[in-house]
Chain A
Amino acid sequence: MKRREGLAKLTGREPYVDDLPFDGGLWGATVRSPLPRGRIREIRFGAGVDWSEMIVVDHRDVPGRNVIKLIVDDQPVLAAGEVRHVHEAVLLLAHPSRALLRRAVRAVEVVVDPLPPVLDYRRPPAREQIQHGDDNVFKRLAIDKGDVDAAFAAAAHVVEGIYQTGAQEHVYLEPQGMLAWLEGEGEREVVVVRGSMQCPYYVHEALCYALGRPAERVRVIQAPTGGGFGGKEEFPSGVAIHAALLALKARRPVKLVYERGEDMAATTKRHPSWVRHRTAFDAGGNLLAQDVEVVLDAGAYVTLSPVVLSRGVIHAAGPYRCPNVRIRGRAVLANFVPAGAFRGFGAPQTLFACERHMDRCARVLGLEPAELRRRNLLRDGDATATGQRIDDGTDREALLDRALKLAGWEAKRTAHRSWNAEQPFRRRGLGLATFFHGAGFTGAGEVYLASRAHVAGLADGRVEVRTAATEMGQGTITIFTQIAAARLGLEPEQVVIAEPDTARVPNSGPTVASRTAMIVGRLVEKACDDLRRRLGVGDAAPGAAVVEAIRAWHRQHPGEEPVGEGRYEPPPGIHWDEEHYRGDAYGTYGWAAYVAEVEVDLRTYVVTVIDFVAVQEVGKVLNETLARGQIQGGVVQAIGWALLEELKVEGGAMRNNQLTNYVIPTSEDVPPIRVAFVENPYPHGAQGAKGIGELPMDGPAPAIANAVADALGVDPCAIPLTPERLMALVEGEDEAPVAGAA
């Protein structure tokens, strides 16, 4: 099935928030902190602006709690007294003229008395830098399995390594934006917000908390969203509150749309990481013990860091069989824009370390990288680091073998040897990564979410799917249409997908964690079944009978509609011990083996990916076009993270907040990306689907770094592998790992 909203997008009719009319409304803008840490002494309103015609909002205008509600109540809607990062929101302005607004933002001076900031998360903080608890650690997690120390004492080989990854900006093509207005009056006044977001109910909850309003007096509607990648998971809550505060003060609609430079500088990033591995093998190359330390740079506020760390540590040991595992993780404060959700959510960082380290281990052990993995990949009946028994029937070694075969690994290795010997300035190499990605929320997360989906019968016999799951390019609208149509025996055009509007759709949880098709899609199936029950139509009855029953129901119950509901229930046999981090961390996992082929120019140290093979098992593929699109798009986003994308940070601020000097892949930077799926339907996902969207972010970076290692005989341990970093590595000036992180 083709993408349902495709035509609107291809004809310019899709109404993104920036395109929405708002007659008589004002534009909003944000005044931000100039320093990474300090106390606000004074706010000066400069000359050249008629401040009497400007709407000005500060922290005193927040009617509820001055907090952007998420996990911990630490991040203010607007700074009150203290600032913790450059670009932290201090003041809001609104005016009908965008030009005057820009001038006004420049005319405000936020005077801050500086305090000592933390500018490198890897170094232990001095006493005067402590801003959270007694050590600036937002969250600590530990995973323990077996007896690690005893295993090291008995090991034939011990291999150590330290691996680091940098921050990454999402660069969704549509910047953050919200339109807020008021409906009704007095006790019935409702704040309505429509904008670019992944999670309408996160925004709704945050608005209720900050505005001090009951749920029914806040309404949130998702506008078509021009990309998210996690960057529109939690961040839009703050933008929505800001737009709403301005609209409440102005008593007029206010649209707040970020400019690109502001969006890049002020919004969340992927967590930078520092990961140390110490690994024990027996003489046969079998894993005996993994000792892993994970440190994530959380930025200035907690945001989602505890759960990003959670996914990070659970994936840190890789998809391998190892009887003894010790993982210690911590997310620590630094005075930089908070790190947040980004496709992969901690797993790309720890899997980069794990897979780069596996290649280093293979070299020390004198084994081929594929052979070391083949000996250690999880087989059915084995347990993960958290003790989760894997028994899904997927043959992970076959997945690896297929990737090697499709990449032409053996033939290319041979060809590279002679090619590299002949070429004066170019070297080619091959790299591999085998990995997994837990689908859906971690641990008991899905149980806490308690998601619901509705499918309603409309008077004309069509059905309407009502969920809070958002379309941001990944294909929610199309997939849900397919799922409901198949379940009810209808044609796709007989299925309507409701706009995610908190006044109309139930809370089916956030559109994150690769959970939409698998988990919410399954709720749509259940809601379809429930609708059949309510209509008295058997599961096997054809679509025509469903349509007729819906019409008959409407004739008998004028003014009402039949609504089927699906509620989340955990798959049977799932047990998670949150306290000890033991048990079934996820309902299921996607599995993959990726191969990258690179060419390195020794004159410029530019690395080019020249071929890429991505083989994965994601349960049942619901729509091959969309699924390939997810894999190819994820691979290219990961190529950017691995090779190109580097934040230049000075004084706690991103200095390259432009697309000319924060470089993401263009059409000329991408290799052929050959995608293959092995299908193994997951019984608890819609039509057998597992999550897919994040998996392709995990594997490419280590595969590419391993290919560079193969091409040059060096050992790259940090990404992005920019020409500067690679030159330093080849010429023996690799940056020393920071000792203080231990």
Chain B
Amino acid sequence: MSEPRNVEPAAEASRVTATLRVNGEDHTVVFPVHHTLLEVLREGCGLTGTKHGCELGECGACAVLLDGRPVLSCLVLAAEAAGHEVETVEGLQEGNRLHPLQAAFADLGAAQCGYCTPGILMTAKALLAQNPEPTAEEIEEALAGNLCRCTGYRKIVQAVAWAAAILRGEEERPPEEAFLGSPLPEVRR
């Protein structure tokens, strides 16, 4: 698929050629030296899963992993990312197998409009790598820089905890009340 090119006239900016390692693949790209990792991922590498939300580091929609640490790709110069491992949402699944985070988000309906989802998945992946058994509070703290306007966050926090349990090899999923408050009795007429 051809990609939208943010065509810069040659005179506009000095351009650099760099090789970015993204999701284990090398991408050799030419871009103006001031371009951010977000711009080069989307426009140079054709990886549009990482989203523009504000370009000011305020919303978290553009979060990716740089050597396993979550960064806001709108605040990182692409040139700085050369020589480091970049991970984006496109690299989360292995072959046809969803990452446990993706599976848990799907099961719980933790993605609604989906625009914040890639950034949240990557931030959560970094959290679980560092803390395999986070409490609800630790998940909330780790995701506090990722804005979501649809879900109210409860299902997201719950999905991250479910994924953590799967990654620990546990059969049992943590009980709902740990994330949603004490369970309510079923109400039907």
- A residues within 8 Å of B by Cβ? 2-3, 5-16, 18-23, 25, 27, 96-100, 170-175, 224-229, 255, 257, 259-261, 402, 406, 472-475, 611, 613, 615, 625-626, 628-629, 632-637, 658-660, 664-668, 670-680
B161 within 8 A of A: no
- Measured in the bound complex, the distance between the Cα atoms of B43 and A27 in whole Å is 14
- Measured in the bound complex, the distance between the Cα atoms of B182 and A673 in whole Å is 10
- Residues in A whose Cβ lies below 8 Å from that of B154: 632, 670, 672-673
Residues 50 to 72 of chain B near chain A (Cβ within 8 Å): 50-56, 58-59, 61
| Partner among B56, B109, B185 whose Cβ is within 8 Å of the Cβ of A629 | B109
Expressed in whole angstroms, the minimum distance between the Cβ of B113 and any Cβ of chain A is: 3
Q: Are B189 and A679 in contact (CB under 8 A)?
A: yes
Q: Are A97 and B182 also in contact (CB < 8 A) when A10-B102, A12-B88, A673-B152 are?
A: no
Q: Are A667 and B150 also in contact (CB < 8 A) when A11-B92, A21-B4, A96-B7 are?
A: no
| Partner among A260, A632, A675 whose Cβ is within 8 Å of the Cβ of B151 | A632
Q: Are A629 and B155 also in contact (CB < 8 A) when A6-B111, A12-B49, A664-B147 are?
A: yes
Q: Are B7 and A7 in contact (CB under 8 A)?
A: no
| Partner among A27, A225, A625, A674 whose Cβ is within 8 Å of the Cβ of B182 | A674
Expressed in whole angstroms, the minimum distance between the Cβ of B129 and any Cβ of chain A is: 19
Expressed in whole angstroms, the minimum distance between the Cβ of B173 and any Cβ of chain A is: 15
Q: Are A666 and B144 also in contact (CB < 8 A) when A21-B1, A633-B112 are?
A: yes
- Measured in the bound complex, the distance between the Cα atoms of B108 and A10 in whole Å is 12
Expressed in whole angstroms, the minimum distance between the Cβ of A144 and any Cβ of chain B is: 36
- Residues in B whose Cβ lies below 8 Å from that of A671: 181
B148 within 8 A of A: yes
Q: Are B187 and A98 in contact (CB under 8 A)?
A: no
| Partner among A97, A406, A637 whose Cβ is within 8 Å of the Cβ of B184 | A406
Expressed in whole angstroms, the minimum distance between the Cβ of B63 and any Cβ of chain A is: 12
B114 within 8 A of A: yes
- Residues in B whose Cβ lies below 8 Å from that of A9: 111, 113-114, 117
- B residues within 8 Å of A by Cβ? 1-9, 12-13, 32, 42, 47-56, 58-59, 61, 88-90, 92-93, 98, 102, 105-109, 111-118, 121, 139-141, 143-157, 179-182, 184-185, 187-189
- Measured in the bound complex, the distance between the Cα atoms of B55 and A330 in whole Å is 39
Q: Are A3 and B4 also in contact (CB < 8 A) when A10-B117, A670-B154, A672-B180 are?
A: no
Expressed in whole angstroms, the minimum distance between the Cβ of B119 and any Cβ of chain A is: 9
Residue of A nearest to B35 (CB): A99
| Partner among A13, A406, A674 whose Cβ is within 8 Å of the Cβ of B49 | A13
Q: Are B49 and A21 in contact (CB under 8 A)?
A: no
- Measured in the bound complex, the distance between the Cα atoms of B140 and A259 in whole Å is 27
- Residues in A whose Cβ lies below 8 Å from that of B89: 10-12
| Partner among B4, B50, B54, B143 whose Cβ is within 8 Å of the Cβ of A20 | B4
- Residues in A whose Cβ lies below 8 Å from that of B50: 12
- Residues in B whose Cβ lies below 8 Å from that of A10: 89, 98, 102, 105-106, 111, 114, 117, 121
| Partner among B42, B112, B140 whose Cβ is within 8 Å of the Cβ of A668 | B140
- Measured in the bound complex, the distance between the Cα atoms of B15 and A99 in whole Å is 14
Q: Are B117 and A667 in contact (CB under 8 A)?
A: no
Residue of B nearest to A25 (CB): B4
| Partner among A11, A100, A659 whose Cβ is within 8 Å of the Cβ of B90 | A11
Q: Are A660 and B56 in contact (CB under 8 A)?
A: yes
Residue of B nearest to A672 (CB): B181
Q: Are A674 and B181 in contact (CB under 8 A)?
A: yes
Q: Are A2 and B58 in contact (CB under 8 A)?
A: no
Expressed in whole angstroms, the minimum distance between the Cβ of B102 and any Cβ of chain A is: 4
- Measured in the bound complex, the distance between the Cα atoms of B54 and A257 in whole Å is 12
| Partner among A100, A628, A679 whose Cβ is within 8 Å of the Cβ of B188 | A679
- Measured in the bound complex, the distance between the Cα atoms of B54 and A466 in whole Å is 34
Q: Are A16 and B115 in contact (CB under 8 A)?
A: yes
- Residues in B whose Cβ lies below 8 Å from that of A3: 106, 109, 111
Q: Are A668 and B108 in contact (CB under 8 A)?
A: no
- Measured in the bound complex, the distance between the Cα atoms of B148 and A84 in whole Å is 33
Residue of B nearest to A611 (CB): B181
- Measured in the bound complex, the distance between the Cα atoms of B152 and A472 in whole Å is 15
Residue of A nearest to B148 (CB): A173
Q: Are B108 and A625 in contact (CB under 8 A)?
A: yes
Expressed in whole angstroms, the minimum distance between the Cβ of A691 and any Cβ of chain B is: 17
Expressed in whole angstroms, the minimum distance between the Cβ of B93 and any Cβ of chain A is: 6
Which of A2, A5, A674 is packed against the most chain B CB atoms within 10 Å? A674
- Measured in the bound complex, the distance between the Cα atoms of B106 and A664 in whole Å is 25
- Residues in B whose Cβ lies below 8 Å from that of A229: 149
- Measured in the bound complex, the distance between the Cα atoms of B117 and A175 in whole Å is 15
Q: Are B58 and A658 in contact (CB under 8 A)?
A: yes
Q: Are B118 and A12 in contact (CB under 8 A)?
A: yes
- Residues in A whose Cβ lies below 8 Å from that of B157: 667
